[in-house]
Structure 1
């Protein structure tokens, strides 16, 4: 028997127009502890269905955030896939964008559970029996959770997803921050504690570390640090396209290669000059790279959306 809170979801479905008449549709899913907001975008007769899973932090359904990220990358990708006959669902995480709820009381499992509600809704909208998961960065880990728990996943598209434990990647990034140079010992102790599943008391977090490892977000960090992406990838026998840009400052090309090798049906796609925002910088300098994080008018890297669409639609 379905939980009582699904009633609101089914009322939303019944009130919607038929998929053949849809263009962009703003949808909400009411849950006991949150109201999730998303956008369904489809051609008149979708040939396939994909869900875009956002990256880390307060990233919304369009790949923007209140912390200065302004790219519209997910919206651009959804629109490009629509022209290829692929319907997409993209949504704000709980407590982010227009979705309500506590953004700190989350886990990869809860994100996957929320995404599951969207998948059920989008399948009904599109008439498709399975959904492709397009996971960007941290969204790749959510894609793994879904692929391991559901039997209606067509395959995966992993965009700049981690191939090593997030703790290793985060430590590498933080070691390069000059403002943290004097707090390296405290930083490493905090990381070791969280990896072991033990909270770090506020008094052990000097300077900027108090914000990076704020007590409200420590439970999510501990959940995140417990995941070995490559180990999970080995258990997912689905078609998978692993996409990585050569100009990505946040995720290394080696992570993509590790994932592609671990996935039983992994295919590697390297995009020359693409940054972590799925866009191409005007030159090889760091300022040009960072400029892709704040210019929504920049298009996606050439060929990216077409390659993703071809993978989803093409024979394997």
Structure 2
């Protein structure tokens, strides 16, 4: 892992731009954020949600802006963190359309290895934190890569196809009333599209006139996290908002039941999938407005404090 050390102007943190080598040699471009106190530090690998996502969980005009506020909240508790651009995004080379769900997992494994090997990181005090798809990869890492702790933000605990269908039902329920008579037709179309994706054999494919990451869809639809949850022995914090319409908040109960030692779970009032709170419905149609707000500060502080108590 290589990079040039650059200190932020505020002096609150130090940030090192680095490249974590993936298993096939691709350099995963990222940022290691460090507290200003002397190391080595406990650390966390931060994994974003699905899509063409950069290190700050931004995808084009859809700007989640999670990475830096999370890194700063962790640093305030004395915890370093690593976040990186996915393949084909930002400064990481590759074609995003051909990267599979399991490729994303393998890259997370490589990034975790690189983080543990950094001289300013205490290798036995490294945790994982993921949001949405990233939470599912964090489950796998918690089961197989022996991190010190895991945080699951809006993570689902059911087979991928079932999770996608639940998400689709929530989207349908939020459609404007004049469109609702078309719901039976829309459901049939969605079912056909999922079947076509599952039947593809190429990395990318055109479905409904759009070029999609077919391999990612096949692998994500087929993956069931329940077996991995049942293997986890490290401390787990799972948080989902009660206004999340992309992941069923009831999956928190499944997570707590499947993990042998249980998990600390929080169903946060008003919190949406994009980690902003709202007094209105948690519809995806409200995302554009909600994204003008920052990520919920209480959530970030609570997560950082929980990790500070377990990464020692």
Q: TM-score range by the shorter chain?
A: 0.7 to 0.9
SS where residue 42 of structure 1 aligns? strand
For 2:109 and 2:201, locate their aligned partners in 1 and report how far apart those are by CA, in whole Å: 32
Query: Structure 1, residues 224-249: CA drift from partner, whole Å, max 9, x if none?
Result: 11211233211112111001112222
Whether contact under 8 Å (2:143, 2:229) holds in the other structure is: no
Match of 2:9 in 1: none
SS where residue 58 of structure 2 aligns? coil
Q: Residues 114 and 315 (structure 1 numbering): CA distance in 2 closer, same or farther, change over 3 Å?
A: closer
Whether contact under 8 Å (2:140, 2:225) holds in the other structure is: no
2:58 is equivalent to residue 64 of structure 1: yes
TM-score between the two structures when normalised by the length of structure 1: 0.80
Match of 1:110 in 2: 103
Q: What is the RMSD computed on CA atoms of the aligned residues?
A: 3.1
Whether contact under 8 Å (1:193, 1:200) holds in the other structure is: no
Of 79, 95, 101, the match for 1:86: 79
Q: Give ranges in structure 2 of 5+ residues lacking alignment.
A: 7-11
Q: Residues 114 and 184 (structure 1 numbering): CA distance in 2 closer, same or farther, change over 3 Å?
A: same
2:188 is equivalent to residue 185 of structure 1: yes
Whether contact under 8 Å (1:35, 1:101) holds in the other structure is: no
Match of 2:259 in 1: 263
Match of 2:199 in 1: 198
For 1:126 and 1:294, locate their aligned partners in 2 and report how far apart those are by CA, in whole Å: 34
Deviation at 1:160, TM superposition (A): 0.3
Whether contact under 8 Å (1:174, 1:180) holds in the other structure is: no
2:52 is equivalent to residue 55 of structure 1: no
Query: Structure 1, residues 149-180: CA drift from partner, whole Å, max 9, x if none?
Result: 323x1121000011212212222333516587
For 1:289 and 1:186, locate their aligned partners in 2 and report how far apart those are by CA, in whole Å: 24
Query: Structure 1, residues 21-69: CA drift from partner, whole Å, max 9, x if none?
Result: 9701111245656332101001133542101101001121112111x31
Q: Give ranges in structure 1 of 5+ residues lacking alignment.
A: 1-8
Whether contact under 8 Å (2:102, 2:219) holds in the other structure is: no
For 1:108 and 1:287, locate their aligned partners in 2 and report how far apart those are by CA, in whole Å: 23
2:291 is equivalent to residue 294 of structure 1: yes
2:131 is equivalent to residue 128 of structure 1: no
For 2:290 and 2:166, locate their aligned partners in 1 and report how far apart those are by CA, in whole Å: 21
For 1:126 and 1:95, locate their aligned partners in 2 and report how far apart those are by CA, in whole Å: 28
Whether contact under 8 Å (2:50, 2:134) holds in the other structure is: yes
TM-score between the two structures when normalised by the length of structure 2: 0.80
Whether contact under 8 Å (1:242, 1:268) holds in the other structure is: yes
Of 279, 282, 306, the match for 1:311: 306
Deviation at 1:120, TM superposition (A): 2.7
Dislocated runs of 4+, deviation >6 Å: none
Whether contact under 8 Å (2:5, 2:17) holds in the other structure is: no
Query: Structure 1, residues 255-309: CA drift from partner, whole Å, max 9, x if none?
Result: 222112212231102222111122223x3145894245532xx333242122212
2:232 is equivalent to residue 240 of structure 1: no
Higher strand share: 2
Match of 2:34 in 1: 42
Of 224, 227, 231, the match for 1:231: 227
Match of 1:97 in 2: 90
Whether contact under 8 Å (1:54, 1:61) holds in the other structure is: yes
Query: Structure 1, residues 202-230: CA drift from partner, whole Å, max 9, x if none?
Result: xxx87xx443xx4x522221111121123
Which stretch of the first structure deviates more once superposed, 303-312 or 85-94? 303-312
For 2:185 and 2:150, locate their aligned partners in 1 and report how far apart those are by CA, in whole Å: 41
Aligned residue pairs total: 289
